[in-house]
Amino acid sequence: MVYKPGRFGDDPYPINALGTGESWRMFSIMSEFVRAFTAMSNAGPCVSIFGSARSEPDSPECAMAEELARLLARNGFGVVSGGGGGVMAAANKGATEAGGLSIGLNIELPHEQLPNPYANLQLDFHYFFIRKVVFVKYSQAYVILPGGYGTMDELFEALTLIQTQRIRPFPAFLMGSDYWSGLMSWMRDRMMAENYIGPDDLDFLTVVDHPEEVVKSIKKTVVLK
């Protein structure tokens, strides 16, 4: 099932010489929210898995994402990814092959993102910020695998919303200690030491190396209906 906002990359309401496109763009934004909320309304408990679109299918992070998604699906959780390739495709593949709900929230990027073929519910987005709202609104946990700017964006957006109590706290896992140890050390030795974040703020994150650890922890905090 695929929900599309229109042609990727096209501004539905470009600004004309009179500036009237700016106000009409609100209707495009509202429409995309309604379409996404309607499609996700019966999704049930879901876990979002993030990671690089550039990861090769045979990479360690793709293997971890696929196995994690398979375990989550077998334990009754839907799996949400960014809908593209790499880690995202691996997550959707694992969930689909295990017979679970496999959701791809796709957005076209200039160089690398095309929808992967494994999501059994695909939503296409024009606006990044709407896509991020959907990730947060329908996730009971976040799992972050190695990735770049987009992965970091999703991670720190969630941490900021939890820290400022704009959303309820939910489990957030950094998967792959070898990749994340440098970031965690910097956050502790610079951000926390210089009082830019508090000691409790680091408790929002759990570093893990095995899919079974994530599923076991999530099952302790998320009640399936």
Q: What is the secondary structure of 155-170 as a DSSP string? A: HHHHHHHHHTTSS---
Residue 108, domain extent: 2-221
Find out whether 176 and 61 touch, Cβ atoms under 8 Å: yes
Q: Is the per-residue pLDDT at 14 higher than 70?
A: no
Count of domains observed in the chain: 1
Q: Please write the tens of the pLDDT for every residue from 158-207.
A: 999 999 999 888 999 999 999 999 999 999 999 999 999 999 999 999 99
Model confidence band, residue 6 (pLDDT cutoffs 50, 70, 90): very low
Question: For 197, what's the count of Cα atoms within 13 Å in the CB-facing half-sphere?
Answer: 20
pTM assigned to the model: 0.86
DSSP bridge pairs for 185: none
CATH number at 211 reads 3.40.50.450
Closest listed residue to residue 140, CA positions, set 33, 217, 60, 25:
217
Return the residue matching tokens 């599923």: 215
Q: What is the pLDDT of residue 57?
A: 95
What is the tens place of the pLDDT at every residue in 124-153? 998 999 999 999 999 999 999 999 999 999
Read off the pLDDT of residues 57-70 as tens digits, 9 standing for 90 and up: 999 999 999 999 99
